[in-house]
Chains A and B, each alone.
Chain A
Amino acid sequence: MKARQRQLLWIAVVLIVVLACSFYSANGPQTTAVLAGTVRAATLLTLGALCGMIGERSGVVNIGIEGQFLMSAFFAFTVTSITGSLFMGAMAGIATGLTMGWMLAAMAVGLKVDQIIAGTVLNIGALGLTSFFYDGSRSLGVGKYTNIDLGSLADLPLVGTVFFSRPPITYLTMVLLVVVHVALFRSVWGMRTRAIGEHPGAADTVGIDVLRLRYINVTLAGGFAGLGGSYLALEAVGTFSRGMSGGRGFLALAVMIFGRRSPFGAYAAALFFGFTTALQNHFQLNSVFDIPPQFVGMLPFVVTIIVVALSGLMGSMRDPAALGQTYEKG
């Protein structure tokens, strides 16, 4: 990161802290609610972004995250409602995500189908199948994942509730952020992954099996989206409904791009987008503005368009050079 960007980052952080504190002193409960909502919305986006970035860093675009979310949420819910175990459901969600990731890899890497088309297949397939098999009479019965307080940390004002009194998948996501960061930028796997996304030919000449690594990564990445699906059904909502991913798989891609395909960048971006979502909920619940709720509901998406357009203008991002291209040996 350049010195100037670092400076800007610090200014932003200080500004956010000052604003949060002053709002908190003015209206404690509502500020806490909005910020807790921010973290809640950010979790799903972060998991989606992690899925997207592992694929894109290896050169494979994944626009099927939306479908991966939806399908995983469906199986997470169904398995939990049958077995009565949230844990089994969460595992089923992850397994579903891995399977969807494997399908994407088989199409986009194995069969060299256009990556956008392969992702679209996942999205359409997931929407169709989950809607068809959806059984409205099912319910979880066992309730959803609930908040776990992290000792005395949870008693801190504001941040205690916002960060340290959260349900398990949210904590897991924060751990995964660190894990993926270290893996991507420090491990052998990460170095090779970045190389095959930038210059697969160079990786090939030093003996790295480009197609195999892409296959593995895209499959693995699906697991993150799968965990996102579990989160959606078992932690955020506590049930399944038709099309419940509601475009957040696509929003996760914006989060990933805005976060420069790095885990912490993506988390910062996810918090930002999560904040717009939480704010929109707050406005709707408390009827802050006298405008139809549909328009207020557009807020996160309008902000997405503006932010992505602006960040494109600033020219701050560069895609991996081999993104979206199939690799032919020789």
Chain B
Amino acid sequence: MTDLLLAARNVTKQFPGVLANDDVSVELKPGRILALLGENGAGKSTLVNVLFGMYRPDGGQIIIKDEVVDLRGPDDAISRGIGMVHQHFQLVPPMRVVENIVLGAEPTKRGLVDLDEARLRVVELSTKYGLEVDPDALVEDLPVGMQQRVEILKALYRNADVLILDEPTGVLTPQEADHLLRVLRGLTETGVGIVFITHKLREVLAIADDIVVLREGRVVGTTTPDQATESGLAEMMVGRSVVLRVEKQAAQPGDVVLQVDDLKVNDDRGQLAVDGVSLQVRAGEIVGVAGVEGNGQRELVEAITGLRHASSGAMAIGGKPLTNSSTRQIAANGVGHIPEDREKHGIIAAYSLAENSVLNRYHRTPFSSRGIMHREVIYEHAQSVVEEFDVRTPSVTVAASSLSGGNKQKLIVGREFSENIKLLVAAQPTRGIDIGAIEFIHRRIVEQRDKGAAVLLVSAELDEILSLADRVAVLYDGKLVDVLDANVATRERVGLLMAGITD
């Protein structure tokens, strides 16, 4: 066995206006887990994309199994035993799990794809590593956690001995995340080396063997879990000390802003996902919606913000009935929305950062008049969002697609907050965001509340809900099982309710 699986030596990668990796060196040994930490835009994704052959480095070397290599594309990396689970899954939705796994390396019998053989191997791999998945299910029918398993199996099927995962737990429920960490641990016992990117320090301390911290493209620290603490890591990442707790005063609820009555909403497959939810959110309070993902949170949020048709029930904002109104009508009534899926509903990747900063009101003054948009005003506005929300970018004219994941999120939050809003609907507002930025966004949410906005917060992170919410509503199987005041909403009690246990 070689003693160096994968390494970057003095890797440099330049994007227009940004030095994304600056003389970066990291090493991965067999059976070890290397965690990459760093703020949004620090260059983590860029580094692993270089290691996987997606980007060519401008300088430095890549070493795979003690050999200096020149990767011309991902297939070069794959054939050398590198597997990667991308931040965005690379799966063909209408094809079956087994087909997705073997695609590009299909076993054949008499010239045809031998799906029976493929199925056997998939089942064998999934039982071996605890990655159970139905090989004949269509990928499009699977929840994200399962799709991620398919991605991991895809790499293992190709005999990968290095697995790179870019923010794999960002899209998972806490239970799924724990399971994934156990699976990864199990993998290392067979000699696989793992590169793991995350913003969750708890995970890093729990699973990593080596920790490398990046800031502004450079390695600023290398450590191990037994020498590090959460606050120490946070400080190393951001370069200043970070308050990990949210400071806030008691809420002073005013009039009802969001009124939801007996709302019923179907999911994509036409099944009842929100089953008669009634809920009120008052001005000046934060109502957190807790629940295991897939219990109707998404459909509830989409119905409230106009992205999904409600099959029955009523919804009003500030006393105005708006059930099944258009997203624009709802936004015009003072609703800000931080969507759960930022790529799909949050930004238009090909548009510039400036255009994205006014997506919700480009058609109104001062951004346009008589159907003509005013570029200068939009640029100025974008510039102020960038400064206030610390969006790391070379300029406001670049395409939104060139932003790092967390900076896209900051841009969306900045856009939705830069106007007086009556109601803020925030779904997973800090997904993929670094510790420093989480602190900042949490403060801004509380600030909105104190300015009199009603806030509906949906999050898969129970900690986020417990630290921000004034009242906690728990969804289970599409129904609102209980609404608790924050002072009685303990981790245990909410946890039981999330499991559907109401004693």
Contacts and interface: CB of A to CB of B under 8 A. Distances in A.
A188 B108 contact: yes
A201 B84 CA distance: 14
Contact of A199 (B54, B86, B91): B91
A330 B54 contact: yes
Contact of A188 (B84, B91, B113): B113
Nearest to A198: B92
A206 B75 CA distance: 6
Interface in B95-122: 95, 99-100, 103-106, 108, 111-113
Given A191-B99, A192-B103, A192-B104, A205 B90 contact: yes
A208 B104 contact: yes
Contacts of A199: 90-93
B112 A204 contact: no
B95 A194 contact: yes
Interface in B354-375: none
A207 B113 contact: no
A195 B95 contact: yes
Contact of B103 (A182, A201, A206, A321): A206
A205 B154 CA distance: 11
Contact of B104 (A182, A186, A206, A321): A206
Tell me which of B90, B99, B154 has the highest count of chain A C-beta atoms within 10 A of its own C-beta: B90
A207 B54 CA distance: 12
Nearest to A207: B75
B154 A206 contact: yes
B76 to A, nearest CB: 9
B310 interface: no
Contact of B92 (A182, A195, A318, A330): A195
B438 to A, nearest CB: 30
A203 interface: yes
B358 to A, nearest CB: 27
Nearest to B76: A207
B112 A182 contact: yes
A195 B74 CA distance: 17
Contact of B113 (A191, A204, A208): A191
A191 B106 contact: yes
Contacts of B90: 199, 201-202, 205-206
A191 B113 CA distance: 8
B104 A187 contact: no
Contacts of A188: 106, 108, 112-113
A18 to B, nearest CB: 35
A173 B79 CA distance: 41
B112 A203 contact: no
Contacts of A182: 112
A205 B106 contact: no
Interface string A310-330: 000000001001000000001
B42 to A, nearest CB: 21
Contacts of B394: none
B94 A198 contact: yes
Contacts of A206: 74-75, 78, 90, 103-105, 154
A84 B95 CA distance: 49
Contacts of B91: 199, 202
A194 to B, nearest CB: 7
A316 to B, nearest CB: 14
Contacts of B78: 206-207
Contacts of A187: 111-113
B490 to A, nearest CB: 43
Interface in B27-83: 54, 73-75, 78-79
B230 to A, nearest CB: 34
Contacts of B108: 188
B274 to A, nearest CB: 23
A192 B103 CA distance: 7
Contacts of B54: 330
Nearest to B54: A330
A194 B96 CA distance: 12
Given A192-B104, A208-B104, A202 B92 contact: yes
A150 to B, nearest CB: 28
Contacts of B92: 194-195, 198-199, 202-203
A198 B103 contact: no
Nearest to B79: A207
B103 A203 contact: yes
A4 to B, nearest CB: 15
A207 B113 CA distance: 17
Contact of A204 (B74, B93, B105): B74
A91 B438 CA distance: 68
Nearest to B101: A206
22 contacts: A186-B113, A187-B113, A188-B106, A191-B95, A191-B103, A195-B92, A195-B95, A198-B93, A198-B94, A199-B90, A201-B90, A202-B92, A202-B100, A202-B103, A203-B103, A206-B74, A206-B90, A206-B154, A207-B78, A207-B104, A321-B94, A330-B54
Interface of B: 54, 73-75, 78-79, 84, 86, 90-95, 99-100, 103-106, 108, 111-113, 154
Closest 4 CB pairs of A and B: A207-B75, A206-B104, A202-B90, A186-B112
Given A191-B106, A207-B75, 16 more contacts: A187-B111, A187-B112, A188-B112, A191-B95, A195-B95, A198-B93, A199-B91, A201-B90, A203-B92, A203-B103, A205-B86, A206-B75, A207-B73, A207-B74, A207-B104, A330-B54
